[in-house]
């Protein structure tokens, strides 16, 4: 932690670049906490487990000192005039009192450990892509019987092949044996018919991020699944409430946003819609813990926690580059020197610049901050087909 603090408080050009991008990100996290959207613990865990950051944003504020962050933001606001650089009231308050987010959290009642309020013995997964395959593997590894549904036999076979490949890799590394592999594969079964999900206790859908397709699926799931079955969506951008409205059981609909690759990434954003029952939300959190994941709680709002904090920072990096604040390499290096796993342009290319643009457009449309207007250069690279690693060219070439 001290290494990161020392880097951010340095006097060289790299430290200046890092502060320019990280301080608004910290401010946004503080605003998210102050609004009551998520707890400090969940905000910090989201960025650690969802992005691989060495420290969460609010813990970093505590390490730097709120007064240091406030002074840095005020200096930026004086230069940019951007309201997003106005320090969040909670930062100003902590700066004046000398308190910390950690102290405030310690003064609150610790939340009770979540329990399974619904019995979960069998799981359904809809989809056969990378995310769906990973989710099937996660639940089967944890001992659940899993039924997965896809469009055709070829797609179903692809799921088993992908899981088998992962298990063989684990065997080669001495982390698994053949008996455990056989047991796991014996717990999964594929079907081309959604009616195969009639008896499961929870369905997790991981199909295309297309609202119309998902709406039709939820109508089918409402008809097919038994009363009391939880209907979960892995969406990262679509409305939980819109999906719930297609069912006669909106209290049983919830977001369960896994991160890719699902067998590896620990974070799951548990997203409650307006009608999601407290029992369903608690059961979903407990289920995440039972499969070795770290759940964080939030409500149905664009970007949830991770994307709402991550993509404005990435957008800021593009604008900083255009404004002459650093070359692509200088900016990437400056942020990696603060112990981030990737520089912003490297990360944009990994995520996909088209995906990044779509998320930023959604955030801008939802929150209306002028400072979150998608960067023109980001729009340009997408228009030119430079989508990142998947097209061998983005901000960098591959």
Q: Active-site residue numbers?
A: 236, 257, 269, 307
**SS3 labels along 123-145:** EEEECCCHHHHHHHHHHHHCCCE
Residue 84's nearest CA partner among 379, 374, 367 is: 367
| φ, ψ dihedrals at 203, nearest 5° | -115, 130
Residue 186's nearest CA partner among 206, 153, 160 is: 160
- In Å, the largest CA–CA distance within the chain is 64
Which sign does the torsion angle of CA 140, 145, 151, 155 carry? Answer: positive
Strands 202-205 and 122-126 turn out to be: parallel
Helix 328-336 to helix 13-34 angle (10° resolution) is 60
Question: In the beta sheet, which residues pair with residue 269?
Answer: 257, 296
Q: What tokens appear for 262 in the block?
A: 């699902």
CA 257 and chain centroid, separation? 7
């Amino acid at each position: 932690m001290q290494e990161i603090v020392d880097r951010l408080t340095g006097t060289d050009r790299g430290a200046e670049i890092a502060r320019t991008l990280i301080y608004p990100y910290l401010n946004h996290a503080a605003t998210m906490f102050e609004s009551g959207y998520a707890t400090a613990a969940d905000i910090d865990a989201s960025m650690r487990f969802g992005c691989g950051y060495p420290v969460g944003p609010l813990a970093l504020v505590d390490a730097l000192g709120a007064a240091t962050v406030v002074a840095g933001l005020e200096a930026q606001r004086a230069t940019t005039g951007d309201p997003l650089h106005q320090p969040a009231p909670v930062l100003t308050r902590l700066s004046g009192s000398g308190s910390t987010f950690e102290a405030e959290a310690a003064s609150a009642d610790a939340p009770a450990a979540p329990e399974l309020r619904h019995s979960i013995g069998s799981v359904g997964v809809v989809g056969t892509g990378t995310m769906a395959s990973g989710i099937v593997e996660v639940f089967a590894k944890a001992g659940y019987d899993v039924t997965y549904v896809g469009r055709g036999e070829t797609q179903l076979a692809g799921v088993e092949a992908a899981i088998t490949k992962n298990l063989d890799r684990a065997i080669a590394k001495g982390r698994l044996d053949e008996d455990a592999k056989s047991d796991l594969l014996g717990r999964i079964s594929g079907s081309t018919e959604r009616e195969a999900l009639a008896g499961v206790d929870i369905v997790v859908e991981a199909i295309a991020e297309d609202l119309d397709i998902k709406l039709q699926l939820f109508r089918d799931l409402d008809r097919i699944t038994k009363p009391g079955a939880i209907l979960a969506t892995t969406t990262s951008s679509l409305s939980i409430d819109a999906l719930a409205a297609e069912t006669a059981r909106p209290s049983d609909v919830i977001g369960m946003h896994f991160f890719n690759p699902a067998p590896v990434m620990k974070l799951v954003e548990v997203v409650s819609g307006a009608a999601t029952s407290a029992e369903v939300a608690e059961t979903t959190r407990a289920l995440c813990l039972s499969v070795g994941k770290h759940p964080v709680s939030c409500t149905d709002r664009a970007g949830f926690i991770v994307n709402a904090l991550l993509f404005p920072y990435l957008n800021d990096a593009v604008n900083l580059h255009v404004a002459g604040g650093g070359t692509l390499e200088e900016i990437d290096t400056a942020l990696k020197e603060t112990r981030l796993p990737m520089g912003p342009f490297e990360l944009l290319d990994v995520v996909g610049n088209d995906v990044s643009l779509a998320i930023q457009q959604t955030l801008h449309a939802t929150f209306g901050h002028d400072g979150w207007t998608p960067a023109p250069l980001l729009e340009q690279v997408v228009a030119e087909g430079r989508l990142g690693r998947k097209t061998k060219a983005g901000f960098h070439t591959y």
